[in-house]
Structures are given as structure tokens and as C-alpha cells.
Chain A
Amino acid sequence: MARALPATIALIVFFALWEAACRGFAIPEFLLPAPSVIARAIAAAWPMVLNHTLATLGTVLLGFAASIAVSLPLAMAIASSTTIAAALYPLLVVTQSIPKVALAPILIVALGANEAPRIIVTFLVAFFPLVVASVAGLLAAPPELIELGRSCRAGRLQELLRIRLPFAVPFVFGGLKVAAALSVVGAVVAEFVGADAGLGYLIQTSMAFFRTPLAFGAVVILAILGILLFQAVALAERLLFPWSSGAERPALAA
């Protein structure tokens, strides 16, 4: 709790300054609404905002789940064979070099205006750092420990399950935290391009009618979503792998 105190104070000061600036300089609402105005805008349109939030949350969670489901097996394949790594890594880099915003409209034409293209865009934005972190984790086991396994005549599968995978856990969670935050980004990118619901859609339609406070409200909710998702991953790590949190912190793969 004591650790959260400076952040709480900083946040309160930030919002107070924002509020004071908006009132003091009489900044027009459609340029920069004050926090109180944003809060009122959300409260006034609450059921509608909640629906949009749930739509975005669905896309985020499905895209995040897809990126986990694909990344972990992919990382194991890459870590287990240099040939597979040499074959797949360039392809992965290619998928990362394509701007997802450019890909989204194409996917929507190909797959139709439904949830699928949004999940795929979210997945494409989120999965790469998770693969990179997981591969790094799977290769992080000290060579002596691998030798210990070999000297106990452990097979490749045992080596993977009992030495490499547990060693990868802190790295995988590092990747998961990045992927969680990126899932929110991916979902909004997809909603900008083609959606009839979601916070990204809400931002676009609000701005079209200069309802800036509501657009800002959607942004605030997106930030909260990202923070909650990040904290949920951190909590899962603390509960499931207490030895991992506080262990060697892998640098977050960008």
C-alpha cells in the first residue's frame, strides 16, 4: 500500500492541474475537456458506454487468448530446433513489419464485417513480443542444468517439461504483460477500421460530432482496461508462480 501512495498522489495532482488549467484558461470543451466534464459525459451515456466497453473487452480477451495459444507452441518449436528457428524467424519479422492498420481493412474485406478480423488484428499486434520473450526464456536455462538433465539421462521431452519450461516462466510473464497492453491497442486499431461497437468505434463516432468529452472518456476507459489486464497478469504470476515474481526480471521485450 505504501508503494501505491506516491502514484496515487501524482495521479490526483495530475487531474487537479488538468481541471484547473481547463477552468483557468477557459479551454473550449471540444478541444480539451476537463476531467469533471469527461466524468459527467460518461455518466450521462453510461449504459451505451458499458456496451461498447464490453465489446472491446471481448475482442481484447479473445485476441490475447489467441496470441497465447499460438505463441507458446511456436516458441517451443523455435527453441527446440535451430532449423525451425531459421525458417520461422524471418516470417515472424515480416508479420511485425506490416503495419496492422494497413492490414485491417484488407482482413475485413476478406473475412467479412464480424468479430474475426478484429481478433486477428489484435492477435497480430500482441503475439510477437510474447514469442520473443518465450523463446528467450526457453533458452535461458543454464547449460549446466541441461547437462545435469543429460547426465540423469533425461530425454528431450523431460528436459523441456522439467527444466526449460519452468525456467521460461518469468520471461513468459514478461511477454504476457507486454502482450496484454498491446491487445488493447490492437483491438482499438481494428475497431477504428471496421466495427459497429467498441470503444474505438465510440471514439470515432463521438469525434465526428465533436463530442470530445465522450471520446476522452473512452480513452480513459481504455487506459483502465489496459492497466487492469496488466495487473491481472501480474496477479496470476504471483498466485501461480510465487517464486517467479521477484526472481531475475527479464527485460521487457519491446
Chain B
Amino acid sequence: MIAIEGVGKRFSGRDGGAVQALEDVSLTVAPGEFVAVVGASGCGKSTLLRLIAGLVAPSAGRVAIDGAQVTGARTDTAMVFQAPTLLPWADVLKNVTFPMRLMRRAGPGTEDAARALLARAGLAGFEGRLPRELSGGMQQRVAICRALLQQPRILLMDEPFGALDALTREEMSLELLRLWTESPMAVVFVTHSISEAVLLADRVIVMSPRPGRVVDDVAIPLPRPRSFDQEGLPAFQAAARRIRDHIFRGQAARAAA
């Protein structure tokens, strides 16, 4: 479904120098597949998401969705950011329907769909609240509902739980899995938490720091539905160790150099 072929991305820095964020990245994502991307800070994970979303153009290679090259923003992808980035002046319901209204795709059923989605995310009764009246975890749930309401075929998540506390984070991970099972779509999930990646994903892509390259592509053989009980399983441990080795070996190599 998503095909990334030999993609490189250079940014020109403010001082005139160029930063190579990504180099020769190739990977594919199948329809309905949950792929996590793990790597140290500055490995171009976020850039990768923005390339798929069509928000930035690659300097080399190509990104294609269903065989068609991505040249701009598409209506079948939706994004969730690390910060909830809600509109402070709009209530929860208006926030969830905002992209649909912006794309002029809002119809008579949009509001009901939004209410149903909010109810599934445990936010029934909060439709009329303003974002600042909600906790961080609830705000991020609103942001996820906002993305899901677009019924995207591809959901792009940029460290969506990175700003939450550990307990909320675990709770939200399982909730995300539940929502994903109910409405199948391809998910590309960027995180720097190894256990989060293993718990959630079908495959974990490990990336090296600057310039970002794909170091490993680890299949997670754990059965679904996933739960935190699986953290003790040997398959979980083995996958987590393999990913951790890549990341820390890379760091050790750079420290020696």
C-alpha cells in the first residue's frame, strides 16, 4: 500500500549548511498493517511521516501510495501529533469535526459519527467542553478521534503518547489497539519507546540516527489481541532485545568514532 523507495531528504540549515535527515530509506507497509518506527532522537522519524503525508517532498527516491506517487496532501491519510494541538476556541465536538469541515467533507452524519467515536474513546458527555477543561490524556484522545473521523486508510502517528504520563500512556496504547481493530487501517507509529513499539506493532522498523537509515525490520510474532501480560513472553523479550541492541550498538559505535 505504502511504498517508500530509496528516499533521501536533505534540509538546508539556517547557517547555509545542509542536514541529511534521511538517506536511502526503503520500506513498504501493507493495508491494515500496524508498523512502528523506532530510533533515537533526530533519526528523521518525523520527517518520514511527513513524507508519507505529502507535507514535505523527498530530495531523492519516491513515496507512493497504491502505486501513485505522493505529490501533496492526500485526503485518505490522517495525522496525530505528539501535542494534541486542538483549537482552544472550539469545543470537543467542533475540534473532532474540524478537518472534515476544512476539507468540506462534513455531511449530515458527520456530527453523529463524531459523537459515536467520542463515546468509544470514553469521552461521552464531554462534547461541549473546551480543550483546556480536559486533562492531557483526554485531549490526546480528542486528537485521535479527530484523525479517525476522517476514516483514513493510513493513520500517521508522531509519538502520540510521548507527552503523557506512563500510566495514561499504557491505557491509551490498548485503547488505540481496540480502535484500530474496530476500523482497520494501515498505521505508521513513530515512537522512541521500544516496549510500546513491540506491544503495538506487527513490524518494528529500527532507524539509525542522522542520516536516518533503516537498520532492521523486526516482525513481532505475538498474537492479537495484545496486552501487557505479553511483556513477559520470550518472543516479546527477544524482539525488544534485538531492537535495543541495534540502537545501543549504534550509539556505542558513534561514541568510539
Chain A residues at the B interface, C-beta cutoff of 8 Å: 142, 144-145, 147-154, 158, 162-163, 166-167, 169, 241, 243-244, 247-248
Contacts and interface: CB of A to CB of B under 8 A. Distances in A.
Nearest to B75: A153
Contact of B85 (A148, A153, A158, A162): A148
Dominant secondary structure at the A interface: helix
Given A142-B83, A158-B102, A150 B73 contact: yes
Given A142-B83, A147-B55, A152-B102, 5 more contacts: A144-B82, A144-B83, A151-B78, A152-B99, A243-B89
Contacts of B75: 152-153
Contacts of B72: 153
A132 B25 CA distance: 43
Nearest to A244: B89
Interface residues of B, number: 22
A244 to B, nearest CB: 7
A247 B79 contact: no
Nearest to A147: B55
B163 to A, nearest CB: 12
Given A149-B102, A150-B55, A154-B102, A241 B79 contact: no
B173 to A, nearest CB: 21
Contacts of B53: 147, 151
What 5 A-B pairs are tightest by C-beta distance, nearest first? Answer: A152-B102, A144-B81, A144-B85, A243-B89, A151-B73
Contact of B89 (A148, A152, A166): A166
Interface string B92-111: 00000001001100000000
B88 interface: yes
Interface in B38-77: 50, 53-55, 72-73, 75, 77
9 contacts: A144-B85, A147-B50, A150-B55, A151-B53, A151-B77, A152-B102, A153-B73, A243-B88, A244-B89
